[in-house]
Amino acid sequence: MKIIYFDCFSGISGDMLLGGLADLGADLSLVQDQLNEFLPQKIELQVTSRLVNGIRGTDAAVISEPASSYKHLPDLLKIVGKSPLTPAERDTAAHVFTRLAAAEAHIHGVSLNEVHFHELGAIDTLVDVIGFFLAVRQLSIDEFFCSPLPLARGIAPMCHGHYPLPAPATMELLKGVPCYGVESEIELITPTGAAIATTVCSNFGPFPPAITERIGYGAGKKQRPDVPNLIRVISGQLTPKAYKEEMVAIIETNIDDMNPEYLSRLFERFFQIDGALDILVQNVMMKKNRAGFQIQCIVRPDTITSFVDLILAETSTLGVRHRLEHRTVRPRRLQQLSTRWGPATVKVWTDRDGSARFAPEYDSCRNLAEIAGVSLPRVYEEVWRLADKELGE
């Protein structure tokens, strides 16, 4: 599996990403031609090589006239729909724009369709986002990883005045993502860079086990006195392994004053929210020698807010704890088998010795048992038999 790792030691932006991909071998002149086939105005992608604090990097600059008729989200999504991206790429690009607009809408207190992409910002964002997907297609990338992101501090001039760093929209996009503070007073992470990284990257952490093939450097526009203003883009082949590393969010709270019958509704609602991974309740002894229970939820990092809202609404707690943790999991897939009563789903994974392992999915077997009017153990026996025949060695 071919991967890219974004080493954001000095931040990330749309133009830095394009420069880094060009340095890896993507042909931005081809990307420029593809963009000019459907964009409502002509653009030029000016690619130059220059030294940044002694390291050679590639600078990608968008040369264009200010946009006049496409400054809102619906306008940009229509343009994405006309692009030569594949349907999957188009959906992901549209998600990047929608998340950008949602972050701005939240900050400024307006609706999605009222968000205003400023003149040069609109065309730059179109080129950065759609150009990114056109460039990575040339490199045949299967999965993206990213380092934790550096957060600058200070005040910087922006479209609406002087704002704190990171920009409010950027911080909104970085919810649930591992970050760390640095002593820098220039904008290191732009909203576009944050939106792309948090949409396409499957993990934010150290470099995964992989064989490095190529390394590219994308140059930022501003000069830093201490650290080269570059992004390092590393491509390689993911090392085959039996386990997968990923980041999850843990949300916990302790309760000693609530009717435990209410937990049933909490469990039901938990699994109705996108991003739910697991939930458990365990008995604990609390202060004043009170018996209570601890609720622990495991969720995707980008969905923390939804589950905090759920716990505060459905329980008597006055607060929750949440943190990010690494976890190691076996890669798995779901596969359907045809039984005498209908399709059944099994979970399939590969052991370290390469042998296939599998287990019936409870919900699928329960539904078959109810529909066919047979016992659950009988359905399990049938599914185990078929799985052993079709998937076993």
Each residue's pLDDT expressed in tens, for the chain with a length of 393 residues: 899 999 999 999 999 999 999 999 999 999 999 999 999 889 999 999 999 999 999 999 999 877 666 678 998 999 999 999 999 999 999 999 999 999 999 988 988 888 877 644 688 999 999 999 999 999 999 999 999 999 998 887 766 667 888 999 999 999 989 999 998 889 999 999 999 999 999 889 889 888 999 999 999 999 888 899 999 999 999 876 667 778 899 999 999 999 999 999 999 999 999 999 999 999 999 998 999 999 999 999 989 999 999 999 999 999 999 998 988 888 888 999 999 999 999 999 877 777 788 999 999 999 999 999 999 999 999 999 999 888 875
Q: Do 115 and 101 touch, CB atoms closer than 8 A?
A: yes
pLDDT at residue number 330: 83
End-to-end CA distance of the chain: 25
Q: Name, in order, each residue with C-beta under 8 angstroms of 141's C-beta and a sequence gap of 6 or more.
A: 2, 3, 4, 235
Q: Name, in order, each residue with C-beta under 8 angstroms of 261's C-beta and a sequence gap of 6 or more.
A: none
Rounded Cα distance, 383 and 166, in Å: 53
Rounded Cα distance, 62 and 77, in Å: 20
What would the two tokens of residue 43 be? 């653009």
3-state helix, strand, coil in the chain (%, to 5): 35, 35, 30
pLDDT at residue number 119: 41
- Return the CATH fold of 245-329: Alpha-Beta Plaits (3.30.70)
pLDDT at residue number 379: 95
pLDDT at residue number 120: 44
pLDDT at residue number 159: 65
pLDDT at residue number 67: 61
DSSP labels, 295-324: EEEEE-GGGHHHHHHHHHHHSS-S--EEEE
Q: Could you state, in order of their start, the residue ranges of all structural domains in the chain? A: 2-240, 245-329, 332-390
* pTM of the model as a whole: 0.66
Q: What is the CA radius of gyration of the chain?
A: 25
